[in-house]
Amino acid sequence: MDILFLGTSSGTPTKTRNLSAVAVQKAGARPWILIDCGEGTQHRLLHTPLSLPRLQAICITHMHGDHCYGLPGLLASAAMSGRSEPLTLIGPGALREWLALTEQATHLQLGFVLHFVDVAELTGRQGQVLVEGFSISALPLSHRVPSFGYEFVETGLPGKLDVAKLKADNIESGPLWGRLHRGEQVTLADGRVIDGRDYQLAPEAPRRVIVCGDNDNPALLAGHAGSADVLVHEATFTQAVAARLGAGPQHSSAMSIARFAADAGVANLILTHFSPRYKDGGAGLTIGDIEQEAKAHYGGKLFLARDLEVFHLDREGELRRASYPSD
């Protein structure tokens, strides 16, 4: 399972970091899901293998421009690329109205169906959207405007073949095993008729990834973050800057999210959405300051995302930075 960062800056783009956008994808598969779509997201896609025709769903965390102003252009380019498959769009209700007026005002004809789902419908125990390979549900967060996190849970995981039982029953390996794995009924050479469903082990536990929108209250993720394999969360400021700015911006500091992640037992924490005042290096405030502060409060596996970076989550829940396929 791959998590790809298309933009990691908050508010305004910088020369090295674009506005919020994250892709989630099964490793090696072509379908993908986009979370947030800051201006210039389609430009970032030009430098990745992600293709607009294979986009399954777009999840918008909240209606601030740095998280959604890239949406009309990305949809227009999807249409110009010849997409005809319906596309699922999940977000706050105001998103649907804004898009409708944008389509009308700018004479945008998509040529494919946008299947809109109000994110508020996905926050209960039953609410979820199924796309290829994942179920998507939502978690309410706390920000200046309604904001949400999205939880992606793998679906359709095959049960493993019970090889020990096959051997004990003297069923030799070969093409038959594939049919048994698919749950088919099979007649053996010796006349026995056996059922594949009797030789399946339970599927592995699905991997779970949570990608959050802006949020000043990580405790809202309690009960979810601890059981997720990866939590992607904003760390817009260091605590010193957050304290100086006061409660107005309603963002998390590195300290506040790191403390929560430590308490909740988050296995892998990826921080993103950094204020442009933090530079990648040099004098003054740096992303390194955010990293140091988070490390001081969280002993789990910590990453600070950069643009066009891929994180690969393996079956054992191990998360590692992977190099991007060269474009």
Catalytic residues: 66
In the bound complex, what is the minimum distance in angstroms from residue 59's beta carbon to its own copies? 17
Nearer to its own copies, 65 or 158 (CB): 65
CA angle in degrees (0–180, nearest 5) for 41-131-97: 55
Q: How many residues does the chain have?
A: 327
DSSP tag of 263:
H
Contact footprint for its own copies (CB under 8 A): 11-15, 18-19, 39-40, 42-43, 46-47, 63-66, 68-70, 72-73, 76-77, 80-81, 94-95, 97-98, 101-102, 105-108, 144-145
Six token digits for residue 284 = 């003054």
- Burial of residue 253 (number of CB atoms within 10 Å: 0-12, 13-18, 19+): buried
Q: Is 216 annotated as a binding residue?
A: no
Nearer to its own copies, 66 or 293 (CB): 66
Q: Is 67 annotated as a binding residue?
A: yes
In the bound complex, what is the minimum distance in angstroms from residue 277's beta carbon to its own copies? 11
**Amino acid in position 53:** P
Distance of CA 249 to the CA centre of its chain: 24
Residue 29 vs residues 24, 218, 228, 287: alpha-carbon distances, Å: 11, 32, 21, 32
Nearer to its own copies, 27 or 80 (CB): 80
Q: Is 273 annotated as a binding residue?
A: yes
Q: Is 43 annotated as a binding residue?
A: no
Q: Is 190 annotated as a binding residue?
A: no
In the bound complex, what is the minimum distance in angstroms from residue 146's beta carbon to its own copies? 10
Nearer to its own copies, 65 or 265 (CB): 65
In the bound complex, what is the minimum distance in angstroms from residue 81's beta carbon to its own copies? 8
Q: Tell the residue number behind the tokens 């997720």, with chain if given.
A: 228
Phi and psi at residue 168, in whole multiples of 5°?
-60, -35
CA 164, CA 153: separation in Å to the nearest integer? 29
Binding-site residue set for Zn(2+) = 62, 64, 66-67, 143, 214, 273
